[in-house]
Structure 1
Amino acid sequence: MANSICENLKLEEYNFKSYSIIGKCIIINNEHFHEKTGQSNREGTEIDARNADNAFRRLGFEVTLYNDLSWYEMRNAIQEAAGDDYGNYACLVVVILSHGREGKVYATDGTLQIDSEVVDKFKGENCQSLAGKPKLFFIQACRGSKFDHGVEMRDYVDGVSVNEVRIISSEADIMIAHSSTAGFYSWRNNVDGSWFIESLCNVLNSDLVNDVDLVSLMTLVNKLVSDNYQSKNTDEKFSSNKKQIPCVLSTLRKLVFLRPRD
């Protein structure tokens, strides 16, 4: 039985051609925070917001950018977006640029749960016009306070140094790309923006989007962040030579290609 199933296996693409618009992109960019949160302002995040806006517009997305949303405003913006009709859209992208901790992201005056107050709102059972379509989340935020000190390694070679009605899981067709792994700090440069968003936008702006699927592109983003960046702070708390690696969680059932529309 297993062999007969495997004989018919093939990788499919999500159908983008049948929709007039590739997707809707929502960017929430929080820079300034109420003192009660204990969070400092996020200098350089406006660069991330601009780069993400430009990258997704180039790919053909309709982009809505929100700046400095309170807990009430951020919750409402997400609920309103989840209530939209996505009948003419092939997919959804949500980009959140903010402070965070494990399982949560900050509004300017409080926190929201990533799963229940953000991602869940767009799942098929809550937003039926997105059922079966990819829902892509890119979250630039710390997931804790641990630092990645890196590790030395060596490379070795040869031992030397759509036509039928089907029921699918409501949890399906989601990708969440976090800027760091669980519990770890996420780095941002005041001049160039965050390591994660800079690498993501460089990849999305490249010709690779024409031929390479999104999950594979995110593997390249992982490599760029891990290999090309290292902290250079003089503050004792944020000492030099720290590293970072993004983390992608996926329930995608097919390949996602974000090819620019002509």
Structure 2
Amino acid sequence: MEDLQSRLQETLDVLSPQELRNFRVILKTVDEMPRLSPLQLELEGGSTSGLARLLAKHYYLPAAPRVVTKVLQQLRRADLLQRWQSDPAADSQVIPRKILKRSRDFVDGDELDRYDLSGRRKAFLMCVKKNRPGADQDVKLMKDWLGQCHFEYTLCIDPDKEELLEKLTSFRDGLNGIKNEIGCCLITLMSHGENGFIKMEDGDRVSLENVFEMFNNKNCPALHEKPKIFIIQACRGERRDNGVETDDEPMDSDDVSEKKRLPTFSDYFIIYPTQADHVALRHPRTGSVMIEAMTNVFKQYGNRWHIADFFTKVNNRVVHTEFHLQEEPIKVSLVMESTLTKFVYF
């Protein structure tokens, strides 16, 4: 039983949080006697270790492999099936540790909870490099990340205010020109800034609200009910949070057929690198703390999480990053604003 429980735990540990939730739902419907009751699952199957122990003691061999196989088939995790369809005693099979979950890998009935990202993924990447040491590294990391997430991107480096607004307008109009082909839109703006504004290389300010408005449901019909993601890497003021000392142990860092009405602003996801009125953090060699954390989390976990969960993990890294400005400790926390109506998996 211990060997079976260990193998079950190995499989469950590979599944994403959403897959684990679906695993429990499907388990209730598996035609294998005796069935697990919802109460048993609730009381004993809340964690992966508890669920593995419950399955091992409830089904034994050879019923447990049959049950797991049926559930994995419905989860469409063919990569895990071979181990359970082979001889139960054979432990030579290696369970893959990192499986990138694509947005098209749906569990039956789950399509309505996710945005359909099968269309073209378009991105706009702007960076002010002047007087921003580390900005070159930010651009490199973002270009790599966009490529891994299958985005086509438009690059805009060191624009003045007029040039940025012209290029954003052209980008927006381009989306509207191919509205039936678009899956989602992502806009990254990296520059100096203050609360509500970003600053161009000549010091002119651009209102973020005006940028957001350019892509709302009135001005950009190509993005109706499609995710509009904004990554803003800029200060939001001059305040500095030096943090507080704590005795706690450090945390582990780990086309619709009928007309309908939509709010003017919907399906937005905006991520800021710091709280309102506060500075953002950027290292002259490694680049911005948020951008570096984004790429590191993606390298480790891939696209297995909904974007809000992804940036929650990124925020965990950012919050626990040690950073000093003029020998003073500085702490920041990311801020997310969302009007999404479904999950986003890249």
Q: Which of 9, 13, 21 in structure 1 is aligned with 2:114? A: 13
Taking only the aligned residue pairs, the percentage that are identical comes to 26
Is 1:257–2:257 an aligned residue pair?
no
Q: Which of 173, 179, 182 in structure 1 is aligned with 2:273? A: 179
Instruction: Tell me which of the two structures has the higher relative contact order, counting C-alpha pairs closer than 8 angstroms and 6 or more residues apart.
Output: 1
Secondary structure (helix, strand or coil) at the match of 1:87 reads: helix
Higher helix share: 2
Secondary structure (helix, strand or coil) at the match of 1:217 reads: helix
Other-structure match for 1:126: 219
Other-structure match for 2:198: 105
Q: CA deviation at 1:206?
A: 3.5
Does the 8 Å CA contact 2:192/2:199 hold for their aligned counterparts?
A: yes
Q: Return the alpha-carbon distance in structure 2 between the equivalents of residues 168 and 205 of structure 1.
A: 36
Secondary structure (helix, strand or coil) at the match of 1:203 reads: helix
Does the 8 Å CA contact 1:24/1:92 hold for their aligned counterparts?
A: yes
Secondary structure (helix, strand or coil) at the match of 1:83 reads: helix
Q: Which amino acid in the other structure matches residue 74 of structure 1? A: L
Other-structure match for 2:123: 25
Other-structure match for 1:196: 290
Q: Return the alpha-carbon distance in structure 2 between the equivalents of residues 213 and 77 of structure 1.
A: 29
Q: Return the alpha-carbon distance in structure 1 between the equivalents of residues 248 and 182 of structure 2.
A: 44
Q: 1:13 to 1:154 in 2, by over 3 A?
A: farther
What are the Cα deviations for residues 26-70 of structure 1, in whole angstroms up to 9, with x where unaligned?
A: 1101012xxxxxxxx001101001100111111110012111001
Secondary structure (helix, strand or coil) at the match of 1:78 reads: helix
Q: CA deviation at 1:150?
A: 1.0
Does the 8 Å CA contact 1:199/1:224 hold for their aligned counterparts?
A: yes
Does the 8 Å CA contact 2:242/2:328 hold for their aligned counterparts?
A: no
Is 1:213–2:319 an aligned residue pair?
no
Secondary structure (helix, strand or coil) at the match of 2:329 reads: coil
Is 1:82–2:172 an aligned residue pair?
yes
Q: Return the alpha-carbon distance in structure 2 between the equivalents of residues 63 and 205 of structure 1.
A: 20
Q: 1:151 to 1:60 in 2, by over 3 A?
A: same
Unaligned runs of 5+ in 2: 1-109, 250-254
Q: Which amino acid in the other structure matches residue 254 of structure 1? A: K
Q: Which amino acid in the other structure matches residue 83 of structure 1? A: D
Is 1:115–2:209 an aligned residue pair?
yes
Q: Which amino acid in the other structure matches residue 162 of structure 2? A: Y
Q: Return the alpha-carbon distance in structure 2 between the equivalents of residues 205 and 164 of structure 1.
A: 40
Other-structure match for 1:42: 132
Aligned length in residues:
226
Q: CA deviation at 1:230?
A: 2.2
What are the Cα deviations for residues 85-132 of structure 1, in whole angstroms up to 9, with x where unaligned?
A: 34312100001110000000011220100011x111011110101111
Q: CA deviation at 1:81?
A: 1.1
**CA RMSD, 1 decimal:** 1.8
Q: Which of 261, 264, 271 in structure 2 is aligned with 1:170? A: 264
Q: CA deviation at 1:208?
A: 3.7
Other-structure match for 2:63: none
Largest Rg, 1 or 2: 2
The 10-residue stretch of structure 1 (95-104 or 78-87) with the greater mean CA deviation from structure 2: 78-87
